[in-house]
Amino acid sequence: MSRISEVFKKNKTLIVFIMAGDPSLAKTEALVYQIEAAGADIIELGIPFSDSIADGVTIQGAATRALNKGTTAADAIKLVKKIRKRSSIPLIFMTSFNILSAYGVDKFARESKRAGVDGLIIPDLPVDASGLIKKHGLDIVFLAAPNSSKEHIKMIAKRSSGFIYAVSISGITGARANLHVQAKQTINKLHKLTRTPIAIGFGIKTPKQAKAAAKISDGVIVGSAIIDVIAKNKNVGRFVANLKKAIS
């Protein structure tokens, strides 16, 4: 069983997204330790890409800042190697398939695994490329949206490992006032097909929303709200701790 799967066996899982290289690689490393100490169970590390397909303004801004600092996929892999000297928290890379394609899918998966990465979230990953990644022992997390077709839901249920990323709304990432009511319907469809844990993401910005999301899922994913806290130089640890308390 993977490190990611083990986490979901213990409690409601808090997954926090940050962008590698925003505001710097050194700061990203420090944030990982701070977020872990505050109670996060899994950390998603974004690898910046200039033309993302699902990210809202906040995460696009973080990616732009990281790219302007020259952050690359190789830098992200080196960062994980450094983190693994101090931490065993599950780490997931989230990026575009274009990054993997340019790097070499097999090479990227192999080097990521050796560095200590536990899984990948690649929203535009071709299904036939997943085998190249899984053979290296990495979990593949697929996204299920409210408008996903029945066939796509079945594919996700069959192929996802670690957990399934249930998108709470149709559209791009970003904190919103209310979670989409169709999120529960998506989760119910998945529960009928798989025992793989399901975590909700997109639009969760407050402890209250996180608590509501945790009631119908196995975990909660918070990204844009975290990026906002970092950008405003506020206390990230306190914010994460409040999220964890809300879902526990």
Residues designated as active site: 44, 55
Q: How many CA atoms lie within 13 A of 88 on its CB side?
A: 4
Of 221, 186, 177, the C-alpha closest to 12 is: 221
Residues 6+ apart with CB under 8 A from 248: 11, 12
41: exposed, middle or buried (Cβ count in 10 Å: 0-12, 13-18, 19+): buried
Buried b (16+ CB within 10 A) or exposed e, 138-160: bbbbbbbbbebeeeebebbbebb
Tokens of 34: 């701070």
Where b means 16+ CB within 10 Å and e means fewer, 53-92 reads ebbbebbbbbbebbbeeebbbebbbebbeebeeebebbbb
- CA 34, 40, 43, 44: dihedral to nearest 10 degrees? -110
Scan for tokens 């872990």, then name that residue. 36
Residues facing 199 on adjacent strands: 165, 219
